Amino acid sequence: MAKLTEIGWNEFTSLSLEAKRPYLARQDGMPYHTLFAQQFDRSLLERLCALANRIRFINKSKEGALYLKSVLAHKRAMLYFSQPSSRTFLSHLAACQLLGITTGSVRDAATSSEFKGESKEDSIRTFSSYFDMIIMRSPEQGLAEKMAWELSNSSRPVPILNAGSGKDQHPTQALLDVYTLMRSFENNGGVDGRTVVFCGDLLRGRTVRSLSYLLTEFSGVRQLFVAPDELQVPPDVTAILDRKGVAYEISGDLRACVARADAVYMTRIQDEWDSSKGASAKIDTHRFKFGAEELAILKPEGVIMHPLPRRDEIATCCDRDPRAMYWRQMRNGMWIRAALIASTFGFEESIMNCGY
């Protein structure tokens, strides 16, 4: 198994994401560091979803919940979030609590020594002195990867989980999105062959890039990208689809795409990335919202998803419709993150085979 200690930083960064995968994996194939969606293939996705289902089931009884709380009671995790977060922070925290992990957190770099001029590398090494895993979100693309390499080459390596890096990747969100799709379609044919519509800010939404990639692991999934021209899916995403021979379409017509959709994945306009204040507000986005009329067109077994937070891109009148999956999607995040964390520490097999 390739090790991150055996490759220099410059050589490592020049590899393709797929080629980086073995450097980040454990012996059992599960990720040690989780940095991007390209680390997961179909079999890993199925293993993780099976484990998430297992944890969910075990947790239903008090005895089972107490067993789960003992699994990682000897571990501590640091949640290092230097970008706003509600769900990703809380679901990782709740996942740690399910497994008995003690946690610490920094949610604002202004409260850490970074404010005094400490480098991010030194901050991360500080966290690794006290914790056994670092779950991190940062506005900086590639930072999680750099920190993973730094830690693996330090005297106290600990795994890094990327909980969102810049406009780039959000691998654990993609895991919960796939888990939600797998559960939504488990009794009617599965995810293969489905049509998934992505709508909103596809240019700057990191959840779209990560999920689009994971969907290529399913056969015959067609991806329809619906957005204003200014916010359409970037070429690095379509290049992967071209290379993998995945069918996709680029469109400006949400209703026409909803009529064909098995899943509609709405996203908000990511205006925090605007180069000049108010730039996004000048883009006409009114045709890229899901409301009562779109609901009327969606297939009876179709699902509506959203990584959240939402603004007005899904009308609240859709919230009680059984096809509105975004609430369950959010809770699924806790289970799949618990599965990923347990696997990162090597506890997949013992949880799968425990007596509960």
* Chain residues that interact with ligand NCD, rule: CB under 6 A: 87-88, 164, 170, 173, 206-207, 267-268, 270, 307-308
Between the CA of residue 298 and those of 87, 197, 301, 320, what are the distances in Å?
A: 27, 11, 8, 15
Structure tokens at 250: 């680029």
Q: How far is CA 234 from the centre of its chain?
A: 18
Q: Which residues are catalytic?
A: 87-88, 116, 137, 170
Q: Measured between alpha carbons, how far is 257 from 70 in angstroms, rounded to an integer? A: 47
- The alpha carbon torsion through 274, 279, 285, 289 (nearest 10 deg) reads 40
Using H for helix, E for strand and C for coil, what is the string for 25-58? ECCCCCECCECCHHHCCHHHHHHHHHHHHHHHHH
User: By C-alpha distance, which of 3, 5, 131 is closest to 76?
Assistant: 131
Q: Which is nearer to ligand NCD, 165 or 184 (CB)?
A: 165
Q: Measured between alpha carbons, how far is 59 from 104 in angstroms, rounded to an integer? A: 23
Q: Measured between alpha carbons, how far is 220 from 264 in angstroms, rounded to an integer? A: 17
- C-alpha R_g of the chain: 20
In DSSP notation, 286-317 reads: TTS-B-HHHHHHS-TT-EEE--S--SSSB-GG
Q: Measured between alpha carbons, how far is 180 from 264 in angstroms, rounded to an integer? A: 12
User: By C-alpha distance, which of 229, 243, 101 is closest to 158?
Assistant: 101
End-to-end CA gap in the chain:
33
CB of 267 to ligand NCD, least distance (A): 6
Q: Measured between alpha carbons, how far is 97 from 79 in angstroms, rounded to an integer? A: 13
Q: Measured between alpha carbons, how far is 217 from 126 in angstroms, rounded to an integer? A: 37
Q: Measured between alpha carbons, how far is 52 from 332 in angstroms, rounded to an integer? A: 8
Q: Measured between alpha carbons, how far is 343 from 54 in angstroms, rounded to an integer? A: 13
Q: Measured between alpha carbons, how far is 93 from 334 in angstroms, rounded to an integer? A: 8
